[in-house]
Amino acid sequence: MTTMQNAGSHGPRRGSAVSSLVSMARQLAVPGLIAAIVTGIAFATTRLSGPFGMFVLWAACSLLGLYVFTRRSQGRMAATDAVASVTLGFAALLVVTALGFIVGFVLLKAIPFVRLNFFTQTLEGIDPDSPATQGGALHAIVGTTAQVLIATLISLPFGVLTAVYLNEIGGRLAGVVRVVIDAMSGIPSVVAGLFIYSIWVVQGGFGYSGLAAGLALAVLMLPTVARTTEEMLRLVPGGLRESALALGAPEWRTALQVVLPTAKVGIVTAVILGIARVAGETAPLLMTAFGNDRVNVVQTATEPQSALPLFVYQQFTSAQGSAVDRAWVGAFVLIALVLVLFLIARVIGRSKTARL
């Protein structure tokens, strides 16, 4: 029978990767339907409520049904396999759904209030009761730009040097440095904020400022830049390095003049990912930038400054109706910013790996 089919189609029989997903879905169809009915009855008769309870109950009933069906037709091992596979699939689906719901919800909340004025006006002189379509976050956008710029200017050289040290020079201390970088990437952002507050704002006596915020963000950005750059440096072909060393160039020269330029695109990716990580940080800004209602560019180093996440947080906690709406727009811009940065890093990263 099967031979006939094959001879007829002349096509090879496909492998199993995609077809197993399809068959998983097909196996789930009948139990899923029955489970939906059971879930409906359960919701109607007990005091259950909420979509989460509904999903959990439906999933549990489906899996039970799947087990019973498969066990009867294919035996115990196949039934366990089917249930386990679908459960794992549910877990993965949950993760994708979560991202979808988060982005979707922010979009939904923000879209009605997105106006150009958000990008051109500040909150200076805006009455708390005025609608969300008045006043904007220009001062916050400017602040975030300044702070991220400062953080990049600091963490870029240190991060790249650390990566070069780890990857090109090595030595006894490299292991220690790697451990410290790992540990640093686990520092809670609020602790980084407290640190800069202590060293810069209080002990240094410089007060709250955009510069202080930039310093705190640099602490958080450094490990990301260092580790991503290190990964990128590892992609540089060893032959290139060796030919430079063979010409008599010392290690540091090879690193600076041959390896780094080759990995340039990779370093750009590292910086973008670092920015994406810190641009949305809120907690450290509370104790460094402090916040401000007007645009502050010239006095970035000395005066309090706002920032996009800080703006969102403060508008929220003020809890006035229109302020909350404004906060949603801010959240939307923030999430869009992070996603765009991320996509840029992806695109650059891809073209990079394509060329190597």
Told to check if 266 binds other proteins by CB under 8 A, we report: no
Shortest reach from residue 113's CB to other proteins, in Å: 14
Shortest reach from residue 118's CB to other proteins, in Å: 17
Told to check if 206 binds other proteins by CB under 8 A, we report: no
Looking only at residues 96 through 155 of this chain, which bind other proteins when binding is defined by CB under 8 A?
Answer: 96, 98-99, 101-102, 105-106, 109
3-state SS record for 160-195: HHHHHHHHHHCCHHHHHHHHHHHHHHCCCHHHHHHH
Phi, psi of 87 (to 5 degrees): -60, -45
Q: Binding pattern to other proteins, positions 35-74, x when CB under 8 A?
A: ------------xxxxxxx--------------------x
Told to check if 28 binds other proteins by CB under 8 A, we report: no
Told to check if 255 binds other proteins by CB under 8 A, we report: no
Nearest of 313, 276, 336 to residue 107 by alpha carbon: 336
From 65, 143, 210, 223, residue interacting with other proteins (rule: CB under 8 A): 223
Measured in Å, how far apart are the chain's first and last C-alpha atoms? Answer: 49
Phi, psi of 208 (to 5 degrees): -70, 140
Q: Which is nearer to other proteins, 87 or 299 (CB)?
A: 87
Q: Which part of the chain contacts other proteins (CB under 8 A), choosing from 91-99, 138-146, 247-255, 295-303?
A: 91-99
Told to check if 2 binds other proteins by CB under 8 A, we report: yes
Told to check if 87 binds other proteins by CB under 8 A, we report: yes
Cα separation, 222 vs 292, whole angstroms: 27
Between vectors from CA 102 to CA 99 and to CA 106, what angle results, nearest 5°?
A: 145
Give yes or no for a contact between 321 and 245, defined as CB atoms under 8 angstroms apart: no
DSSP for residue 259: I
From 38, 126, 295, 338, residue interacting with other proteins (rule: CB under 8 A): 338
Looking only at residues 158 through 197 of this chain, which bind other proteins when binding is defined by CB under 8 A?
Answer: 158, 161-162, 165, 173, 176-177, 179-184, 186-192, 194-195, 197
Told to check if 88 binds other proteins by CB under 8 A, we report: yes
Cα separation, 217 vs 331, whole angstroms: 19
Shortest reach from residue 177's CB to other proteins, in Å: 6
Shortest reach from residue 204's CB to other proteins, in Å: 10
Structure-token pair, residue 324: 């909350």
Q: Is 11 exposed, middle or buried (0-12, 13-18, 19+ CB in 10 A)?
A: exposed
From 209, 282, 305, 306, residue interacting with other proteins (rule: CB under 8 A): 282
